[in-house]
Amino acid sequence: MGENLDDTMKNGSGNGGNSRTGADPGNGEGCLTENNLKRRIRELEERGVVIPDPGQVYIAPDVDPARIRPESVLWPGTRLTGKRTFVGSRAQIGTEGPAVISDTVIGPDAEVASGFLSGSTLLPHAKAGANSHYRAGTLLEEHASTAHCVGLKQSILMYGVTCGSLINFCDILITGGRSRKEHTEVGSGFIHFNYTPWGDSGDKATPSLIGNVTEGVFLDQPRIFLGGMSGMVGPQSVGFGAMTIAGQVVRKPVAEETMHGETGVRMSRGWSAAEARPSEGHCRRVTEMNIEFLTQLYALGQWYLQVRLKRSRLKGDEELTAVLEGAVETVCDCVAERLKRYNSFAKEWGLSPLPGNAADVADDGPGSVPDWKPELDHDQWIRGLSEAEKAGLHDWIAGYAEKVRRGLAG
């Protein structure tokens, strides 16, 4: 029997878990003293971690030194906290200013220019720009990047996705594109509106899918472009190959291979949040989008468990395995958050809750096992798959997603 995402959510992925930040209040090795801090930094340097100015780097007592890999670079102003924190080989922290890394997994060759990252995961070669603000549930895959002043929470940027500056995303998954050059891009000044104010306290049952997982993981879909100085009202969907023009608020689904623009809404009428109630059509749309968003999250988690971790373990790459396990943890966080938010919405408006065990279905992984070629980087391997191998993987992940979708829909 293959691994299961629900089991992972129950048991943890075994590499740091979802521990929380905080210095050990006890004495001895866990006590925060100047001598202990200097000793910890000296030990890291002796293991090959590059620290150009040790006097301007802080390593909390709860950070496991073994999870800070040789050849990583901790520039002045770096602060590391949390048992989950991991910094991979040749990763650079604080290249453009102070950086706080809390319970966050940073893959090899990734970069954090500056800012605050908590409860997040960056795969190899991902980049967080200056003044980044990443919170729980943030995942950047290989070569995904954000420019300066980008806030992310419960958001997943898949391979190569590029975000401009001054962007705020929460509860969104973005994919699409075929390479680092032909990538999905979000223009500067874009906001995903993920909060609806009606009811007792409003709701966040508002996730949006830009592309999807079951097609996007194969790196063969047209890129998507979201024009800058814009917003999107969740829950929403945008198809592969679509383009939304700059300077608008997207309020409707965008079909594949479509240039989309919407005129502004003009209105002035009475309003009371306490008396407002979503229509039946709105409730149906919210339910459908949450089911699909969860389906894609579960599919992504299973892709990591059955494909990506399989290849890293075959290669014997312990470092990459640790980073991918961090990605699974982040996906699990996103699943838990999405169930919580939707079921809160459902309870308030008399809808059926979504089950928490929808992904607890039999799955042995791909039925037709491809040549794993663990010596290749993941993107090289994907692009080198034969048509038969790709079809077999696609049938498996799409079939798994359909089983999850049916389980969620009841």
pLDDT at position 155, please? 98
Q: Is residue 270 a part of any domain in this protein? A: no
- Domain count within the chain: 2
Say if residue 10's pLDDT is above 60.
Answer: no
Q: Is residue 265 part of a domain?
A: no
Q: Predicted confidence band at 297 (pLDDT cuts at 50, 70, 90)? A: very high
Same domain, 176 and 75: yes
The answer as to whether 399 is a domain residue is yes
Instruction: Tell me if 268 is assigned to some domain.
Output: no
pLDDT-derived band of residue 276, with 50, 70 and 90 as boundaries?
A: confident
203 and 298, same domain (yes or no): no
CA distance 286 to 236: 9
167 and 101, same structural domain?
yes
pLDDT digits (tens, 9 = 90+) for 300-332: 999 999 999 999 999 999 999 999 999 999 999
**220 in a structural domain:** yes
Domain range for 136 is: 5-260
Are residues 289 and 200 part of one domain? no
Same-domain pairing of 166 and 135: yes
Write down the pLDDT at residue 263. 82
Residue 31 resides in a domain? yes
The one-letter amino acid code at 237 reads S
Predicted pLDDT of residue 270: 84
Assess if residue 13 is contained within a domain: yes
CA distance 263 to 407: 38
What is the reported pTM?
A: 0.91
Cα gap 305→369, rounded to integer Å: 14
CB 63 within 8 A of CB 83: yes
Looking at the predicted structure, is the pLDDT value of residue 26 above 60? no
The phi, psi pair for 111, rounded to 5°, reads -145, 140
Is residue 22 within 8 Å of 29, Cβ to Cβ? no
The DSSP bridge pattern shows strands 185-186 and 58-59 to be: unpaired
Last residue of a domain, one of 209, 230, 260: 260
* The two three-digit tokens of residue 176, written as one number: 């699409």
d(CA 405, CA 395): 15
pLDDT digits (tens, 9 = 90+) for 106-131: 999 999 999 999 999 999 999 999 99
Model pLDDT for residues 324-337, shown as the tens digit of each residue? 999 999 999 999 99
89 touches 74 (CB < 8 A): no
Q: Which residue has the higher pLDDT, 130 or 180?
A: 130
* Statement: residue 17 has pLDDT above 90: no
If asked whether residues 239 and 302 sit together in one domain, one would say: no
Same domain (yes/no): 286, 231: no
- Cα–Cα distance measured from residue 84 to residue 175, given in angstroms and rounded to the nearest whole number: 26
Q: Using one digit for the tens of pLDDT, what is the confidence trace for 384-395?
A: 999 999 999 999
Are residues 285 and 139 both part of a single domain?
no
Q: Residue 274 — pLDDT band, cuts 50, 70, 90?
A: confident
CA-nearest of 381, 297, 289 to 337 is 297
Flag whether 80 is in a domain. Answer: yes
Regarding whether 135 and 80 lie in a shared domain, the answer is: yes
84 lies in the same domain as 220: yes
Q: Which of the residue ranges 11-20, 163-172, 207-216 would you say has the lowest mean pLDDT?
A: 11-20
